[in-house]
Amino acid sequence: MNDHIRPQPGILDIALYEGGKASVAGVTNIVKLSSNENPFGPSDKAKDAFQRSVHQLHRYPSTDHAALRDAIGETHGLDPARVICGVGSDEIIHFLCQAYAGPKDEVVYTEHGFLMYRISAMAAGATPVEVPERERTTDVDAILRSCNRRTKLVFIANPNNPTGTMISAAEVERLANGLPPQAILVLDGAYAEYVEGFDAGAALIEARDNVVMTRTLSKIYGLGGLRIGWGYGPKHIIDVLNRIRGPFNLSNTQLETAEAAVRDQDYVAKCRADNARMRHWLAEALAELGVPSDTSMANFVLARFASADEAEACDTFLQSQGVIVRRVASYKLPHCLRITVGDAASCRRVAHAIGQFKGAK
């Protein structure tokens, strides 16, 4: 390493993010249940828009994302002028840390929260502050106790990943009311669409000037491969974020496919219903095998084993059977495996394989 060329302090302390595995050496007929993807993929309308976009590959995309913001606004009853679009919700999270947190500032997140909160905080030079959860659920009192004059951002995912748990709108409002005046509450709604009738905090944002939400099209919309997300918040915050957003951060293909996906809410409703049915089935099937999980409000279940050794052994066995799930030791849950809710065949396959593992012990 060149001793004269060094990154900013803290950058080398960031552990690389590792996504869910997608393959197992020497094993075919793989079922991937490690990344919380929609097993049915995107809607036909989104696919058609993707295919049509090939005719505009030589054109620069719009810099204001107006058509997509309008679609989001119309679909969710939001002001399009206060929507910002990004490369997945990850980019919005990064913008928030870059714009509002730096050296000597603190960024608060929960014990089992999304790893990008910590990574983005450290990338901005801020200090990440991890707060304990209560039985794998966001603890509002613990968060409020952790806040001080250095707190600039508080991140919670609701529903949370990888636990699947969520807190009520009243608890979220209590959290927003209790924050110090310089702090922004960020509500990560990556899995919000899986909760029937849930606004992900939109009403609270309209009533306050210190709350922002982030959303993604990578989950229920089935567009993880295109990396599209958005955020919504007070005008003064969105204006700041747009000042650091790259003018062409989303391509024509991303924008046109996303707009078609957002407008196809019949498909979203179908995916939500299918997910709820199979999520219940999978949780019940695992419970009958002696593998409990908390009530999940997302598109996965967090299967709890007796020990870290048992969880790792089960994961190894599943891989040998061509079933890939997610180890979550990096989320301080070494005794758990996060299992995406797939289609009916995938759910039955993973439950059967776990049954084989438990029976062979």
Tokens at residue 51, please?
Answer: 């295919």
Determine if the peptide bond prior to 7 is cis (ω within 30°). no
- 3-state DSSP call for residue 178? helix
Tokens at residue 275, please?
Answer: 């997910």
The pTM for the full model equals 0.94
Q: Are 117 and 242 in contact (CB under 8 A)?
A: no
Q: Which ranges constitute the DSSP H helices of the chain?
A: 44-52, 66-76, 88-100, 115-123, 140-146, 169-178, 202-207, 235-244, 252-263, 265-288, 308-320, 344-360
Q: What is the 3-state secondary structure (H, E, C) of 291-346?
A: CCCCCCCCCEEEEECCCHHHHHHHHHHHHHCCEECEECHHHCCCCEEEEECCCHHH
Q: What is the pLDDT along the chain (361 residues), one digit of tens a residue?
A: 577 888 888 888 887 777 777 677 777 789 999 999 999 999 999 999 999 999 999 999 999 999 999 999 999 999 999 999 999 999 999 999 999 999 999 999 999 999 999 999 999 999 999 999 999 999 999 999 999 999 999 999 999 999 999 999 999 999 999 999 999 999 999 999 999 999 999 999 999 999 999 999 999 999 999 999 999 999 999 999 999 999 999 999 999 999 999 999 999 999 999 999 999 999 999 999 999 999 999 999 999 999 999 999 999 999 999 999 999 999 999 999 999 999 999 999 999 999 999 986 5
Q: Are 326 and 35 in contact (CB under 8 A)?
A: yes
Q: Are 192 and 78 in contact (CB under 8 A)?
A: no
CA pair distance 74, 215, nearest whole angstrom: 15
Q: Are 131 and 108 in contact (CB under 8 A)?
A: yes
Specify the residue for token string 């306050």: 208
What is the separation of C-alpha 207 from the centre of its chain, rounded to a whole number of angstroms?
24
What is the separation of C-alpha 338 from the centre of its chain, rounded to a whole number of angstroms?
14
The residue among 117, 137, 138 whose CA lies nearest residue 128 is 117
Tokens at residue 274, please?
Answer: 């299918």
